[in-house]
Amino acid sequence: MPYPFVPHDLCLGRPYAPPSLLREVKSTPGHTLITAGEYKGKGSLELYGLSTDPAHSINSSDSRTTRNQKAYYQNRQTASSSKLLSVAPHGTRLVFADGDGNLKWVERDGSTPVRQFNINDLQRDGNDGAQATTTSTHQAGLVNAESDTEAGWGGDIVQKILPTVTPSLVAPYTPSEQSGAGNLVLWTGDGKLGMLGFGREPPFGGKDVFEDALEEQVGDAVGERVREREYTAGMRRALEQQARELRWLRGYGL
């Protein structure tokens, strides 16, 4: 993100956080690196400060910054019970995907929850197409995928999130008031592309189906994409098996 890292103890809602220190940190030139992954079987969302000022940065080549606790934050407890697969800035918040098909939004502090949505909550109806079973009108409009249950999968998982409006590191941008400017492009990793819309209207005018990204490929590219799809499907099965094992272990208090 093209914004300086704000230490967790200075975030809004924290007691005894002097406003002067918060203003000083926000005025410091720098960027924030966001990473998503896994730590001891659970999802890990981590933020690292990148700045020319060693007091506000993490740099492995600079011994002064490698243990700078005020230049990074690691949420390894409450992010998710399964591995995180992708993360992206979305407006003033962060959105990430986990191995259970969830999309979760948190504040920029990396821990304060805002909302969550599971792409498998959209169930296909024979007459009306996909129907959203969410409680938030802002989350309706996800372009739905065919259910993978019949094929033996536990559902779709998002492996790549791409906001349709992204802050630039080179030049600032002015958020558009046009409807749909803040949608999210989703890639499930097995050749399916979709879009998560915000508002009352579906992102593609009511067309509720994932577009197969392989249909337009020809020649050798098709074979390569098919191999990628098979590999991704295998990884997804491994993630689902890992999640089942973790739930089983937690049932025994381990």
Residue 223 has pLDDT above 50, yes or no: yes
Residues, the chain, total? Answer: 254
- The tokens 């410091």 sit on which residue? 28
Contact (Cβ atoms closer than 8 angstroms) between residue 1 and residue 91? no
pLDDT higher for 52 or 44? 44
pLDDT higher for 213 or 3? 3
Distance CA 150, CA 146 (A): 10
**Per-chain mean pLDDT for the chain:** 73
Please tell me the number of Cα atoms within 13 Å of 15 on its side-chain side.
Answer: 0
Percentage of the chain surpassing pLDDT 70? Answer: 64
pLDDT higher for 62 or 194? 194
Residue 66 has pLDDT above 50, yes or no: yes
What is the DSSP secondary-structure string of the chain? --S----GGGSTT-TT--HHHHHHHHTS--EEEEEEEEETTEEEEEEEEE-SSGGG---TT-TTTTT-GGGEEEEEEEEESS-EEEEEEETTEEEEEETTSEEEEEETTS--EEEEEEGGG-EEETTTEEE---S-GGG--PPP----GGGT-------EEEESS---SSS------STTTT-EEEE-SSSEEEEE--SSS-TTTT--S-EETTTT--THHHHHHHHHHHHHHHHHHHHHHHHHHHHHHHHTT-
pLDDT higher for 87 or 227? 87
pLDDT of residue 39: 92
pLDDT of residue 138: 42
Report the range of poorest mean pLDDT among 137-141, 172-176, 192-196, 238-242: 137-141
pLDDT (mean) for 106-120:
89
Total Cβ atoms within 10 A of residue 155: 17
pLDDT of residue 218: 54
pLDDT of residue 64: 58
One-letter amino acid for residue 24 of the chain: E
Percentage of the chain surpassing pLDDT 90? Answer: 15
pLDDT higher for 177 or 157? 157
Distance CA 181, CA 146 (A): 26
Residue 85 has pLDDT above 90, yes or no: yes
Which of 60, 58, 62 has the alpha carbon at shortest distance from 70?
Answer: 58
Distance CA 18, CA 229 (A): 51
pLDDT of residue 151: 39
pLDDT of residue 9: 74
- The tokens 């690196």 sit on which residue? 33
pTM value is 0.66
pLDDT of residue 146: 41
